[in-house]
């Protein structure tokens, strides 16, 4: 009998990461491909996913019948039971049954969940939170995602809409968030929130090497790391402000759930995690009940870019 493999995907608004896992849960082949969102965007994203799986199969030199299952994490509200993307902020899908075309094409089961939920699941099963039963995850990227493990199970809430920590209102008079509210954690601490702050400071005439990077959108995490290291005052202010609100949010989550661990992940943390963690730890105690705080660890994600890929692998294991 030929060896069997699982294929796992991290589907983003701009790129798709794909990996082949062997039976020992090791990544044996991987690729990255840009997500096409022009023309018939819905069809294009679907075709890109299919082409990534095709390339993984061809590139690693295996046949379709050697694929045990395929799983993915993607942004948005996702019905994990039925494989339907209900809404997605960065992808052109609404009530979209993505499971059907993938299963039809490859003849293997397909599972999909919210990307940060899946990423936290990956850290819980294979990463820094392995062995814990109650874990809060905050992933800092273009937006702000959350995930929650309660009593050893991924908690997704009613209609799969739970753990939206990014939209915890921390200052009702604060900056406008993309969700329409004011003062959300995402409006302060995501790449979008930090970019807005830097843009505002540049508009007031302050000099910063980040000004050009945020002129038409959000900065790249590597550039943030570089300007943080060179101690550009505006960059430092934007990051310290982000960490301040992450500390407040973390304290609220600690008091609410009493987790064993709070895990910080995402592209920003991967690039600047040590700085963020140190800043958060320097003030988080102010926002936690001492008796709860003493039983909580705060860590950066251990799997880096692969958190979502390993979380997708976890979904396959759970659906055997």
Q: Express as a percent the part of the chain with pLDDT over 90.
A: 84
Enumerate residues 6+ apart whose C-beta is below 8 A from 123. Answer: 129, 130, 135, 137, 263, 265, 301, 302, 303, 307, 310, 311
End-to-end CA distance of the chain: 19
For 13-71, the pLDDT digits (tens) are 778 999 999 999 999 999 998 876 554 555 677 888 899 999 999 999 999 999 999 99
Question: Order of strands, edge to edge, in the sheet holding 94-97?
Answer: 77-79, 84-87, 94-97
Sign of CA dihedral 45, 46, 49, 51: negative
Predicted local distance difference test score (pLDDT) of residue 103: 95
Give this prediction's pTM. 0.92
Phi-psi domain of 264 (left: phi exceeds 0; alpha: psi -120 through 50; beta: other): beta
Task: Give tens-digit pLDDT for 70-125.
Answer: 999 998 899 999 999 998 876 777 898 999 999 999 999 999 999 999 999 999 99
Sign of CA dihedral 283, 284, 285, 289: positive
**Residue ranges covered by each domain of the chain:** 5-119+307-318, 132-301
Burial class (CB in 10 A: 0-12, 13-18, 19+), 237: middle
- 5-119+307-318 has which fold? Nucleotidyltransferase; domain 5 (3.30.420)
Tokens 């000004």 belong to 211
Would you state the structure tokens that stand for residue 259, as one six-digit string?
């987790």
The whole-angstrom separation of Cα 296 and Cα 292 is 7
Choose among 182, 185, 164: nearest CA to 173.
182
Specify the pLDDT at position 37. Answer: 53
- What topology does CATH give the domain 132-301? Nucleotidyltransferase; domain 5 (3.30.420)
Q: Residue-wise over 31-54: b if at least 16 C-beta within 10 A, else e?
A: beeebeeeeeebeebbebbeebbe
Could you check whether 5-119+307-318 and 132-301 share the same CATH topology? yes
């Amino acid at each position: 009998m030929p060896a069997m493999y699982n294929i796992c995907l991290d589907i983003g608004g701009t790129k798709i990461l794909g990996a082949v896992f062997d039976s020992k849960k090791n990544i044996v082949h991987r690729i990255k491909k840009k997500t096409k969102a022009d023309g018939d965007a819905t069809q294009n994203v679907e075709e890109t996913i299919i082409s990534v799986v095709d390339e993984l199969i061809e590139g690693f030199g295996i046949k379709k019948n050697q694929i045990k299952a395929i799983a993915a994490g993607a942004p948005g509200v996702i019905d994990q039971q039925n494989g339907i993307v209900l809404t997605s902020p960065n992808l052109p899908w609404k009530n979209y049954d993505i499971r059907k075309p993938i299963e039809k094409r490859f003849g293997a089961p397909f599972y999909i969940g919210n990307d940060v939920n899946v990423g936290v699941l990956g850290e819980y099963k294979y990463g820094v939170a392995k062995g814990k039963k109650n874990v809060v995850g905050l992933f800092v990227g273009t937006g702000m995602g959350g995930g929650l493990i309660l009593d050893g199970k991924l908690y997704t809430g009613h209609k799969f809409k739970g753990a939206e920590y990014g939209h915890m209102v921390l200052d009702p008079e604060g900056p406008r968030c993309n969700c329409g509210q004011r003062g959300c954690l995402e409006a302060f601490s995501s790449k979008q929130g930090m970019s807005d702050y830097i843009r505002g400071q540049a508009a007031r005439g302050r000099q910063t090497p980040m000004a050009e990077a945020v002129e038409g959108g959000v900065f790249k995490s590597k550039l943030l790391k570089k300007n943080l290291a060179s101690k550009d005052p505006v960059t430092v202010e934007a990051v310290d402000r982000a960490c301040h609100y992450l500390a407040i949010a973390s304290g609220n989550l600690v008091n609410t759930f009493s987790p064993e661990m709070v895990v910080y992940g995402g592209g920003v943390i991967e690039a600047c995690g040590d700085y963020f963690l140190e800043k958060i730890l320097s003030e988080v105690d102010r926002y936690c009940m001492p008796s709860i705080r003493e039983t909580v660890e705060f860590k950066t994600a251990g799997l880096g870019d692969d958190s979502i890929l390993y979380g997708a692998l976890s979904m396959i294991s759970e659906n055997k």
